[in-house]
Structure 1
């Protein structure tokens, strides 16, 4: 009888649970149809009566917004639900007692009903006023894929938020584009864009004849031509076999027969290169009526010369090239593209397309950011949890199956929040790069920005402990029991963002990862020589200068209870012991101490170089303390915040400086000052092709004369005599809000061509650095602006007429420049930043589009739409609207 009662109770419980789960799912299903709208009300809340400092805002900066939830269905009274969303700003206060917002971890937040919740009325809306830290100046500050949970139901995305067109879910009034009242940036309206574009004058086809990108050092072009109509006979024996295959394929893709008549001879002669600063990759190209001869300093030089020859072949029409000669060598030996695949994953296909374009334009380093808080993206034999848990994001509060959602990835693994390169994928990328004379540098970020690894290894620990395998469980654990340090990172993670560097198990983990990556590179035929340690932002954000203790407040700073905040690892017994033993001076020196340990392991593993982001090495007085032969750092101080001086200070310590300045070289920043333009903007409000083109990486002070700070204001900088010049240059694409491959290519191109130009070629208008030489926009007149403008005109016209058609052919989804336009006396005037791009206009709300002819500008009336179009005619740029009279 007792058994029957137990069975009956179990059946009843199951039925009850099923009924409960069904009810929960019905709540989720209904709420998944909510309308969602985030609207900015006041980006200058501190100036309009809100005490942002008392709310804890960094430097007392906050903004007011509203979240409106609209219910299109039947009324819903349930209190058993939560709406989860990603928000890159901290919520400081809420203004509707029916709801509470809780910060979970990173950018993940949760909206829940309170006891005062009165339900979602049928066909009605509820409004949740919020005060958030900082400001929202771009539509892309709001992230997609909000989702709903309810007890036992399956989480579901709110349909309205499944969009990459973020204007669908956010409203940013035209007046709310300034960060401060005295923001001096120029908003890019159609009219302002037209005025800006007017400074660029197209260069004639005759002037562009024989010109390539990046610009060679010396060029001599004759009036004669040679036809390649009968094909070429290229002798590629001096190249590695895989590189020779690449060149052959690319000649064929250019429409040339490779078993033809015109000889292309190649040779390697290092003794013939005596006047070039950087010899690796240097070459000479001679084209006569009889043959082309390419002589390289090394095989990379020959490869570069062949790429230059291919650029001379017209994309359409008869393959005729000039009789000419050029002598060329790179400005920097290190010319890099950095791609973050950790925050959002980008496909192997997209990486291969990037490598193809890098080789064409002589960029030779691909720096892959393979790990961060939000994802681990490389398969490591023996540690499957790194990808089975750390490469996935989903709604699992235990985080034993995946990481919690971040950056708008939603509640399941179907988006680019999840993904990784298998071991074979990575080896294929390496081989593809090797064939194109490109070196791949993998970065495993540590000890901060490591949450994906930490959580994955915790899942491993729990599984093995449950199986009674205590020794194996502790073998690679990255956290320490008893360390409950209260830390808030820059991206609002807690202590799980940090590898504990003091643990022997963490040290074993690093050596394991290092050895496995070395093995992959060896198998791919591209031996690993550089270990990129990462090292950045290992700190508590509340220790920054914009915050103050609320018990002893300082004016203008965010007031926080700093007694509730610790330094990283402050409560780690292992780290305290190492400090007491004198291995590190204090907790703030632990990242640097760890970097030195890693350099020892790198040397023991046969690696020559160590590399890091500069702030990870700030506690180390000299590069000479590292075990590796050289130490390079990615320099990412903004120039207007003292970067000119700090670059010199780092160089004096013996580091090789890779210029990675965020105000010029972070390609996740917007192209222009326009809320519709995607991108973060903490370092600058805009970075377009022209700004990168005018960047001077060797004379950093000079940039103060050619650009402005983040607020569009002039800043001053003075040359430092101890500055030896840069060792290299790197463009960065961070992927927090770059969710798709298409968005990645939009951010990269065509700006990457300007990066290639400056990394390879030092322009005549760039001034040599001089100690004490001061620069400031609008005050000094040392840069030859006429020479600079003429050089830009050439470059911009080449981009518009030659490069973009090639990107079309390669299937690259680059950004098509937005048209500038104005109406004067009833006549439409339009232009683009890159001459040669077709412009179209419509006078009937886009039903019909007409080609714009600048020689015969049309008379218009009423509303006019204007857009640009890609050279192949398949895509159009963003539409701008004007009103005539």
Structure 2
């Protein structure tokens, strides 16, 4: 059945004979199995959906008892919307975003499964494309979460979190997809050859290190207690003397550190440089002594950032504060906080309480007067994945970041990705009748669908109330920052992925008729010009994603506007970045295939994350990135189908406008802090090194560059193992432990862990106990292998099969 032909399902509006105990019993006992059957050919797919691509999936529901009543609905999240379905017993329709509704055609009979097959857009190549927390609802009853689909507490990998997903998944998007299979041999080739860490092992690497031999013993440092606490150094009045001074001529964030038997001297270009010098000192201190050394250091880029999405799934204040500590230790200095999107508004705004009273929660309320629809597998009742930062919470984050020389850049996405704000302000209007901040134009009959399949998520740039709302939010943000003693320097508008809205808006037709804009294609530039002017009038610089800013004439915007360039290099990212820099934008590299940490770390269906930009972003790929030679990256990277691509070779006329790099952690599939740390570490450490330090091998060509890159990656991995794993273990940060790699050499196997500081264990087939692996150990495939930390935390086991 084609969904376009599906009549309105009346079950939600019919009186139900079900009782609450019956519905709860169904939810507790319903067996659920979801399976991808095949990546389908073009004939089965709707030509106008999913770029002509689709896959076939099956959902099977089984009850261990009879249930004759059919007045129930099952709600579930599907990342890829259903195009058509086939079933004699069930029907499905797409509601909005990822939310779908299933209704029964027949009653449940004990042990008799009900099946529904459907075709969905694009592909499913990862278990992480599924969403947990299906639930049942019936009129007049409280919704009930299906126990079989409940997120498994503490699970990091999607197949562990959602065991109702059954069977194998397709590996290729299309027949010509050349993505490799992530088996043990593939992993072996991606991991560095283990080497000893140098005595002076720093991350980020320093520009100049002169080791003079010997060590200075000390139990602590005669240092300001506050600075010592911020950098992890033990303060002691009778400890080693630390003399610091500011020398502006050294430059912003730069420092010079000298350690010898007489003590520590630290010269810095500014307070940030002093802080980074002490962070370096903290890395060098082993708890009892320091190396005798002279270091001169300064950052490669002034902008070294991380984008954190708190909107899709709220990770909480404590997580943000811990993240700020780790960012500071890695000398990162910008935290782009994504605080509002379609699925949630996560910051309290005084005088607009509905933004958090309604839009910080997801639950089963189809009217959305009390909460948003439960997108992204949120379930029927608001949980810890929802919530918001109070003004006090946010100000605590601002103060913690300022103390560590990190600028917080807030973002409340607009005009697209604004569904949370739209629904909250509509709830406000319906409750009070006050239309001052209403974001809905009732007469607008435009039909559109966003990239995430919403039909109602875009602010209308032709309504005066839109700018009343943005002005109110901007002014409130500025006041919140001022009250915290942390002035708001920069605000990120968003401006990305704006769907084809406004075509049938009477207000927009009137605006066009009045000659203020030429056509609907000019409405996004019109919006951006107005909101950047609002920010400029408040003394706040604007930032936005490049796809929105590309549509605006540079001369119509304020003097300083930051552009996060997120076009993949293989789709013309170099051209976009250089064009925007040449036009006068402050460019921050945010290329998805190299900076999106929500992408999988391997082309492995068990690795979490979306993969629209690349099937994998592992440590080796990240380390190989050459940000100062964008065209040269085409010689070592491929497109998302693993095909070679041609570099743009677009001229860069204003290199001074390339400001830095920003990593991104989008949270659509990040449902807990543990899942966030799994994605962030150790990749964030490698990105920090890339943003602070230009490795010498980047200036080389050919074999010399490849050899230098391999040596540099091996040494950086050794540094992470020597210093950072112990730090993260102590803080109980569950960094990723990748599967063990294996390569057969003659009659033996050589094994490698993702990092050299991890222990490797093996278990031959048929045995129950793990045993430590040593080089040269006799092994016969098949056998399982896994890596362990010093604290005994194990990574995912992988089977090594005969070659």
Q: Does the C-alpha gap of structure 1 residues 529 and 865 become closer, same or farther in structure 2, counting only changes over 3 Å?
A: same
Q: Which residue of 1 aligns with 2:36?
A: 40
In structure 2, which of residues 630, 635, 644 is the aligned counterpart of residue 700 of structure 1?
630
Matching residue of 1:248: 229
Per the TM alignment, residue 690 of structure 1 is displaced from its structure 2 partner at its CA by 1.4
Where do 1:684-699 residues align within 5 Å? 684-699=614-629
Equivalent runs, 1:821-832 vs 2, <5 Å: 821=742, 827-832=748-753
SS of structure 1 residue aligned to 2:214: strand
Shift of 1:871: 2.8
Deviation, 1:828, is: 4.6
Displacement of 1:38: 1.3
* Match runs of 1:404-423 below 5 Å: 404-416=373-385, 418-423=386-391
What corresponds to 1:58 in structure 2?
50
Do residues 142 (structure 1) and 130 (structure 2) align? yes
Q: Please list the CA deviations of residues 214-235 of structure 1 after superposition, one character each: whole Å capped at 9, or x if unmatched.
A: 1111111112211123x2212x
Q: Which residue of 1 aligns with 2:345?
A: 376
Paired residue for 1:350? 319
Instruction: State the alpha-carbon separation in 2 of the partners of residues 722 and 415 from structure 1.
Output: 46
Asked if 1:81 corresponds to 2:72, the answer is: yes
Residues 275-303 of structure 1: CA distance to partner in whole angstroms, max 9, x if unpaired? xxxx3211111111111111110000000
Shift of 1:615: 1.3
- CA change 1:823–1:762 in 2 (3 A) is closer
Whether the aligned pair in 2 keeps the contact of 1:690 and 1:754 (CA below 8 Å) is no
Preserved contact between residue 409 and residue 415 of structure 1 (Cα < 8 Å): no
In the alignment, is residue 625 of structure 1 matched against residue 594 of structure 2?
no
Residue 526 of structure 2 aligns with which residue?
A: 593
1:705–1:783 distance in 2 versus 1, CA, 3 Å: farther
Is the 8 Å Cα contact of residues 818 and 867 (structure 1) preserved in structure 2?
yes
What is the alpha-carbon distance in structure 1 between the residues aligned to residue 767 and residue 469 of structure 2? 58
Q: What is the SS of the residue equivalent to 2:548?
A: helix
- Select which of 759, 777, 784 maps to 1:865: 784
Residue from 493, 497, 504 that aligns with 2:454: 493
For residue 90 of structure 1, what is the aligned residue in structure 2?
81
Contact 2:23 2:144 in 1 (8 A): no
User: 1-side partners of 2:273 and 2:744: how far apart?
Assistant: 51
C-alpha displacement of 1:699: 1.7
Following TM superposition, by how much is the alpha carbon of 1:22 offset from its aligned partner in structure 2, in angstroms? Answer: 5.4
Once the two structures are overlaid, the 10-residue window that deviates more, 452-461 or 693-702, is 693-702
Tell me which residue corresponds to 2:116: 128
Q: Secondary structure at 1:102's aligned position in 2?
A: strand
Distance change in 2, residues 1:846/1:590 (3 Å): farther
Q: Secondary structure at the match of 2:182?
A: coil
Q: 2:6 matched to which residue of 1?
A: none
Q: 1:184, 1:177 → 2: CA distance?
A: 10
Residue 264 of structure 1 corresponds to 242
TM-superposed deviation, 1:827: 4.2
- Structure 2: unaligned runs, 5 residues or longer: 1-12, 153-159
Aligned length: 782
Q: Unaligned stretches of 5+ in structure 1?
A: 1-16, 237-243, 274-278, 466-472, 541-567, 769-779
| Rounded Cα–Cα distance in structure 2 between residues aligned with 1:611 and 1:68 | 47
**1:802 alignment partner, SS class:** helix
State the alpha-carbon separation in 2 of the partners of residues 126 and 21 from structure 1: 21
The structural deviation recorded for 1:249 is 5.3
Q: Which residue of the other structure, out of 19, 23, 28, is the alignment partner of 1:23?
A: 19
Map residues 23-422 of structure 1 onto 2, 5 A cutoff: 23=19, 25-43=21-39, 45-46=40-41, 50-54=43-47, 56-71=48-63, 73-114=64-105, 117=106, 119-164=107-152, 165-166=160-161, 168-173=163-168, 176-197=170-191, 200-205=192-197, 208-229=198-219, 231-234=220-223, 236=224, 245-248=226-229, 250-252=231-233, 256-271=234-249, 273=250, 279-314=251-286, 319-416=288-385, 418-422=386-390
Deviates more, 1:596-605 or 1:385-394: 596-605
Q: Is the 8 A contact 2:31 2:62 kept in 1?
A: yes
Alignment of 1:454-853 (within 5 A): 454-465=422-433, 473-494=434-455, 496-540=456-500, 568-607=501-540, 609-622=541-554, 624-627=555-558, 629-725=559-655, 726-767=658-699, 781=702, 784-821=705-742, 827-843=748-764, 847-853=768-774
Offset, 1:491: 0.6
Deviation at 1:489, TM superposition (A): 0.7
Does the 8 Å CA contact 2:532/2:557 hold for their aligned counterparts?
yes
Change (3 A) 1:783 1:148: farther
For 2:193 and 2:298, the matched residues in 1 are separated by 29
> Counterparts of 1:572 and 1:155 in 2: how far apart (Å)?
36
Match of 2:413 among 425, 430, 445: 445
- Residues 228 and 235 of structure 2 are in contact (CA less than 8 Å); yes or no, is this contact kept in structure 1? no
Give the TM-score, by structure 2 length.
0.94
Instruction: Provide the aligned C-alpha RMSD in A.
Output: 2.1
